[in-house]
Amino acid sequence: MKNSLSTAEVESYTQPFLDFITGNPTVFHAVDTVARRLESHGFTKLLSREQWKNKIKKGGKYFVERNGSSIIAFAVGRNYECGNGAAVIAAHIDALTTKVKPIPTKPTKAGYVQLGIAPYAGALNKTWWDRDLGIGGKVLVKDRSTGKIQTKLVKLDHPIARIPTLAPHFGAPAYDPHPNPETQMVPIIGLDRSGAQDTDALSDMSSLGTGLLQGDSLFASTQPPRLVNAITKKLKIDDSATTASDIINWELEVFDTQPAQLGGLDKEFIFAPRIDDKLCSYAAIEALIASTSDTSTQDNSQPSDDDKIIKVVGCFDDEEIGSLLRQGARSNFLPSTIERTVAALAGGQGSPDLVSQTFANGFMISADVSHAVNPNYLDVYLEKHAPQLNVGVAVQADPNGHTTTNSVSTAFLQRVAEKCDSKLQVFQIRNDSRSGGTVGPMLSSAMGMRAIDAGLPQLSMHSIRATVGNLDPGLGVKLFKGFFDHFEEVDAEFT
Ligand SMILES: [Zn+2]
């Protein structure tokens, strides 16, 4: 359905977005939830290990995951012809977080149990102090009967960890602008009164990591016993046979547990963790679903729309650390997914020529959050380039190639915005500041695809909690859906 979203439809995305943020604190939970949402709207899961030749059809909707932390979804128009373009939205679904160390067990210090964690990208900054932190992530469990390794997601439901600030009464150390992230930002996760107070904790290091769980696997014995117990107990909810010795490894994150919620006098704000960039990921996925489903029926098994193109959304892991891992945007994940799709649709007769034609006929929105104007620091923003909340997506310009935006791609998206009744804002950083990067340049250069950088504006980027407008999730869906809906007409103006 190619209608523009009404105000009520825009608003209807607010609460589901809050639920998405609160319910999916780790990148693994977020990707899993996106996959289940796609499945419920008629998207079929493809496996990278299998041939796609007879699996992809015109009118079909599909998704493929990598590492459980990146996901690409796409829908092939019913009137697709070989060589036609792909309309792509690329976002990143990872967020600043802290990761539990391989062997996180710490000696009990002054009666506290502590946990070894490491910052992912710029996390563990001062906004992480005195927050209620939870623990969750991906656990590899060996199935005793089959011997197969299964991945299970786990999150403990209550705040477990806390990085305590030092009261100002202690003077200089409390005001240190650069606390040591290895020694002064170690979360406490419990009390231990079992032994004598350990005043020389480091001397006790050699006793750690062995013999703590007698008879259990090597992995579990390297982890804090009470954490192992808590995770095992949680896993037993859906599998009563799981014991600590069945856990062969895990990737756990420590995250903000405070729910995403509405704020402001008339609830015009969203205060939430992990906005960057689950916000544009959420909006892009919902836009793909809305553009390729007939929302007037409850039948979600219906085929894709009758367009002539492939509509694609990629939500990538690892953007915050440079994207150069197999599930990152700098990998072959997106180009190879499009190549395999084009080949499958050509009956296995795909060629480099056909793939390059698809890229050349395509257009990509690199959708990452932008900076909303902060009223207390107006002078750090460039005049007329300072986006506001609840207005719409901001085009991100940068003269030095940190984004993909140029005159043609701006004009292209402006035409899309006109057709779907959306407003575009513009952001550029001042000459005396430093522009951040996105997945746009790496992906558009890998595919030779025209591209623009455009995302929703937020306050407090890289803080543990950020602010956007209550309408911003829906305004993102509105523009991105318009991009998919009107791609063919707008592209025809540019050929
Ligand atoms: Zn970002």
Q: Residue 53 — pLDDT band, cuts 50, 70, 90?
A: very high
Ligand 1 midpoint to CA 141 (Å):
32
Residue 304's pLDDT is 76
Ligand 1 midpoint to CA 320 (Å):
7
Ligand 1 midpoint to CA 158 (Å):
27
Closest by Cα among 12, 20, 38 to 474? 12
Ligand 1 midpoint to CA 455 (Å):
9
Higher pLDDT, 208 or 413: 413
Residue 147 has pLDDT above 50, yes or no: yes
Rounded to whole angstroms, how far apart are CA atoms 5 and 28?
30
Ligand 1 midpoint to CA 368 (Å):
5
Higher pLDDT, 212 or 37: 37
Ligand 1 midpoint to CA 369 (Å):
6
Residue 213 has pLDDT above 90, yes or no: no
Ligand 1 midpoint to CA 413 (Å):
20
Ligand 1 midpoint to CA 440 (Å):
11
Q: Residue 237 — pLDDT band, cuts 50, 70, 90?
A: low
Ligand 1 midpoint to CA 17 (Å):
17
> Which two three-digit tokens encode residue 154?
């786990």
Residue 50 has pLDDT above 90, yes or no: yes
Ligand 1 midpoint to CA 268 (Å):
22
Residue 194's pLDDT is 84
Residue 193's pLDDT is 87
CB atoms within 5 A of ion ligand 1 belong to: 276-277, 368
Residue 239's pLDDT is 60
On average, the pLDDT of the chain sits at 93
Do 132 and 162 form a contact (C-beta atoms < 8 A)?
A: yes
Ligand 1 midpoint to CA 103 (Å):
29
> Which two three-digit tokens encode residue 109?
């210090």
Ligand 1 midpoint to CA 417 (Å):
22
Range with lowest mean pLDDT among 198-212, 362-376, 425-439? 198-212
Q: What are phi and psi of 313, to 5 degrees?
A: -125, 125
Q: How many CB atoms lie within 10 A of CB 485?
A: 25
Ligand 1 midpoint to CA 421 (Å):
26
Ligand 1 midpoint to CA 92 (Å):
7
Residue 435's pLDDT is 85
pTM recorded for the entire structure: 0.94
Rounded to whole angstroms, how far apart are CA atoms 246 and 295?
44
Ligand 1 midpoint to CA 95 (Å):
7
Residue 313 has pLDDT above 50, yes or no: yes
Do 182 and 114 form a contact (C-beta atoms < 8 A)?
A: no
Q: What is the mean pLDDT of residues 385-391?
A: 98
Percent of the chain whose predicted confidence (pLDDT) is above 90:
87
